[in-house]
Structure 1
Amino acid sequence: MSESINILVAPLNWGLGHATRCIPIIRTLQQEGYTVIIASDGEALTLLDKEFPELSKVSLPSYDIEYAKKKQHFKRKMISSIPKISRAIRKEHKALKQIIATYNIKGVISDNRLGLYTSKIPTIFITHQLQILSGKTTATTTFLHKRFIKRFNECWVPDYMGSSNLSGILGHPTKGNYNVNYIGPLSRMKKRTLQQRYDVLVVLSGPEPQKSILEAILLKELKKYNGSVLFIQGRIKEEEQRSTQKNIEIVNFLTSEKLSEAINSAGFIIARSGYTTIMDLAALQKKAFFIPTPGQTEQEYLAQRLKEKGIAPYSSQDTFKVKDLTKIEVYSGFNKPQETIDLKKFFGLFKSE
């Protein structure tokens, strides 16, 4: 490109998955000569600042999402958060006008930030959930989500279109009129053949208080495990911090390159069944044991789907015991090479002015 085009990339700060799956998009934009401005809040913004210290950053209003301590209160907690989330959406929508003017933005890529639409420039919404599973309210939540999605010029689903897809009915609803591009799974990870350094790698993610609850359960149970464990807490700090408890090496966080190396050198992974984690493990062709976030229907669906496909076992958080890990032996893991889809072919919207 003769003249740099400024693109705003803005992931939701809900766990770290939305931020990490934007990393390959940001890298590809840079390779194609675009100038990227990153916008988010909290740990998502901190993580991307560590990955891309040279890029400009914008702080957006926080959705301030918190999970209930008990599974049966999950939906009630989410419903009670709607007014707070709605205010944040209105604030970020209002802020977008100023951001566009300040940074001369020519396009927006929003990963699940619902307020970042405008008629002034092309806007893209990223989601793997065209259908929002919420029990009896699935039809209502899906309808409301669709109303927001249609305010954007395009919707990108990070998955394959065909039967080898990873998201199932979440990203492939039987009904719905969306302007969708299936851009292929997004992962910052690359498969490498490395000598095994750890028997088990734990990767924690997701909002509090459930992250800390699972951390306590796993630390207690894995001290009984006959093998080496690397335990990544998923807590973004200024510096990497390490400690040891019996057979468990604990680290607060790892940057993308170090995390990719750690996963490649681990026997198997224990993690939430979040979609970004699934994309990463599929890219690395690893075996996994999943523990869905209590009450989060999306993760419960994905874990059940992978179990039915014979790929990975799972356990509820409340019932997990270290002996459950023996189930991994009869599951295949993610053992199929991923088809490569060229991301840059989806950037044409930004050149069509």
Structure 2
Amino acid sequence: MDLNAYSKTILIAPLNWGLGHATRCIPIIKALQDNNYIPIIASDGIALELLRKEFPYLQFLELPSYQIEYAKNGKNFKWKLFKSCPKMIQAIYNEKKMVKEWIKKYEIDGIISDNRLGVFSKKIPSVFMTHQLNVMTGNTTWLTSKMHQNIIKKYTTCWVPDFSTKPNLTGALGHLEKTNLDIKYIGPLSRLHKKQTEIKYDLMIILSGPEPQRGILEEKLKIEILRYSGKTIFIKGVVEKNQIKEQIGDVTYYNFMNTRQLEQAFNESDKVLCRSGYTTVMDLAKLDKKAFFIPTPGQYEQEYLAKKYKGEGLVPYAEQDNFKIENLLEIENFKGLPQIDAVLNWESLFQVFEKK
């Protein structure tokens, strides 16, 4: 490393939709530092709080909230999202103005936006990261996909955290039959590493995603777990100022965990019960863990992935309302996700910020 070289400043901005977008940005932030870039992190809500805990020494900026909320009834998810569109559009407009000011104020040289639609500039290299080139919304998938692709088109390039060829993890979500977009498949991203450790827990439950569905599933599983005979670690996915640990019978509850603790917990667990969110999928593949999925009701992306993996004989799933703890016995009949150990060429990826 040339100690006299100018260190470029990169704004990295994950969407605050659960914790997945924030956690998959952790390896990118570390890679930026390793390659002599200065990251500035911008987000809102629990995504921002989680990254503050991971990188307390970095600079943080707060973006306006998209105010994304799930409906209590999954069937109303699309309608709830549609109703929130005016607030979301206003937030995107506001973040565009803020980013324009920040580029001058903090002398930002490049942007990485993980699904934040207003974090973009024509004046500096701007990367959009997503695993959803197609945005599934039932009978309106064609429209939402086209709209999303038009947004991606304005960016310098688009990073998709998956493989370009089969077998891959995203299927139709992250692959287009024909496109003029500048897409780079960078390989799956995970902040976690597989370790040879003693198995301490028969089951790990890890929750994520926006309210109220995260809380609804937590309450359901607290009841279901009473009929489970093994040792369980239960991570609620609620980021708060202080970590809280609670032991009730054979279940150890945590409100949240940092990366090091979560990595240890995953490695010490035999099986995992979780949402079928894509960041969790990448973690499971990296750690070679068998799992059972409960997709978020009404979220087409998670429902698509759960059906895809079950159809391929990899991971079983159940709808949230129908899940019973006995369903976990099905795990033994499935192969589990294929273990991935992709080595990302960060130096090559970051060349986008070196172009004049």
Q: TM tier, shorter chain?
A: over 0.9
Whole-Å Cα distance in 2 between the matches of residues 70 and 173 of structure 1? Answer: 31
Q: d(CA) in 2 for partners of 1:336 and 1:242?
A: 31
1:266 maps to 269
The partner residue of 2:200 within 193, 197, 211 is: 197
List aligned pairs for 1:69-88, cutoff 5 A: 69-88=72-91
The structure 2 residue matched to 1:344, chosen from 343, 347, 351, is: 347
Which 4+ stretches in 1 moved above 4 angstroms? none
Mapped pair 1:90 → 2:93: yes
* Residue 332 (structure 1) shift: 1.2
Instruction: Report if the CA contact (8 A) 2:11-2:111 is conserved.
Output: yes
Any residues of structure 2 matched to 1:122-133 within 5 Å, and which?
A: 122-133=125-136
Indicate whether 1:54 and 2:44 are aligned: no
Give the letter aligned to residue 131 of structure 2: H
Equivalent residue number for residue 13 of structure 1: 16
Range that drifts further, 109-118 or 167-176:
167-176
Contact 2:206 2:235 in 1 (8 A): yes
Q: Give the whole-Å Cα distance in 2 for the aligned partners of 1:84 and 1:245.
A: 41
Distance 1:62 1:169 in 2: 29
Q: Deviations over 1:125-174 (max 9, x none)?
A: 00000001111101110111111111111110000111021000000122
On the 8 A contact 1:125/1:154 being kept in 2, the answer is yes
Deviation at 1:341, TM superposition (A): 2.5
Check whether the contact 1:183–1:343 (CA below 8 A) recurs between aligned residues.
Answer: no
Deviations 1:227-266 (A, max 9, x none): 0110001111111101122221110000001101100110
RMSD: 0.9
Structure 1: tracts of 5 or more residues without a match: none
The equivalent residue for 2:236 is 233
Q: For residue 43 of structure 1, report the CA deviation from its aligned partner.
A: 0.5
Instruction: Identify the match of residue 249 of structure 2 among 246, 250, 266.
Output: 246
5 Å matches for 1:163-202? 163-202=166-205
> How far, CA to CA, are the matches of 2:316 and 2:147 in structure 1?
33
SS at match of 1:121: coil
Give the CA deviation at 1:223.
1.0
Q: For residues 271 and 31 of structure 1, what CA distance do their matches in structure 2 show?
A: 32
CA distance 1:318–1:183, change in 2 (3 Å): same
CA contact (8 A) 2:287 2:339 kept: no
Q: How far is the alpha carbon of 1:177 from its aligned partner? A: 2.2
Which of residues 281, 297, 313 in structure 2 aligns to 1:294?
Answer: 297
| Structure 2 Cα separation of the partners of residues 43 and 4 of structure 1 | 29
Identical pairs, percent: 48
2:271 is equivalent to residue 276 of structure 1: no
Letter of the structure 1 residue corresponding to residue 278 of structure 2: Y
Matched with 1:146 is 149
Q: State the distance in 2 between where 1:252 and 1:168 align.
A: 32
In 2, Cα distance between the equivalents of 1:61 and 1:45? 11
Matched position secondary structure for 1:143: helix
Separation of aligned partners in 2, 1:337 and 1:138: 29
Contact persistence 1:37–1:57 (CA under 8 A):
yes
The amino acid of 1:213's aligned partner reads I
Supply the distance in 2 between the matched residues of 1:203 and 1:281 (Cα, whole angstroms). 12
User: Do 1:29 and 1:344's aligned partners in 2 also have CA atoms closer than 8 Å?
Assistant: no
Return the alpha-carbon distance in structure 2 between the equivalents of residues 338 and 269 of structure 1. 19
Counterpart residue identity of residue 271, structure 1? C
1:207, 1:336 → 2: CA distance?
A: 28
Compute the TM-score of the two structures, normalised by the length of structure 1.
0.98
Which structure 2 segments of 5+ residues have no match? none
CA distance in 2, matches of 1:303, 1:343: 30
CA distance in 2, matches of 1:342, 1:164: 20
SS at 1:218 equivalent? helix
- Partner residue of 2:258? 255
Counterpart secondary structure, 1:222: helix
Q: What is the match of residue 221 of structure 1?
A: 224
User: Are 1:67 and 2:47 counterparts?
Assistant: no
- Aligned pair count reads 353
Please state how far the C-alpha of 1:317 moved relative to its aligned partner. Answer: 0.2
SS of 2:217's equivalent in the other structure is: helix
SS in 1 for 2:61: strand
> How far has the Cα of 1:335 moved from its partner?
4.3
Deviation at 1:116, TM superposition (A): 1.1
Residue 183 of structure 1 deviates from its aligned partner by: 0.5
Instruction: Give me the whole-angstrom Cα distance separating, in 1, the residues matched to 2:146 and 2:75.
Output: 24
Provide the TM-score with structure 2 as the length reference: 0.98
